[in-house]
Amino acid sequence: MDYAAFIADTRDQSRTLARTIPDAMKGFGALSRGVKDGGTLGVKEKEFVALGIAVAIRCEPCIAFHVEALMKAGATRDELGDVLAMCIQMGGGPAVMYAGKALACWDQLTAAG
């Protein structure tokens, strides 16, 4: 999979959705900003939590977005590996499959950047 193109396509779909239901998407955006700003945990830690949930619920677009956000937040591949190991421990076989997707996304975006 071409993760950069997948992320771009997903962003385009979200923009279309935002034009269709602007109030709901503005509310979602405000919620997203609200949970990332302030608090005890840093953005990187919050993004790791989000990635863990994305792997657990098997949301490939979420995985791609949170991997990209983790890269921007200064995460390392080794940190990603630790989080993916926890995802596998908690989620079993299905988590193995989606953890592999998260790692492939990281490696592809790293090579492209």
What's the structural domain count of the chain? 1
Closest CA to 109 of 17, 28, 15, 1: 1
Q: Which domain holds residue 39?
A: 3-112
Average pLDDT over residues 57-77: 97
* Nearest Cα residue to 37 out of 13, 62, 29: 29
Q: What is the pLDDT of residues 26-53, one digit of tens each?
A: 999 999 999 999 899 999 999 999 999 9
Distance CA 70, CA 84 (A): 13
DSSP 92: H
What is the model's pTM? Answer: 0.88
Q: What is the CATH number of the domain that holds 70?
A: 1.20.1290.10
Q: Is the pLDDT of residue 10 over 90?
A: yes
Residue matched to tokens 């503005």: 26
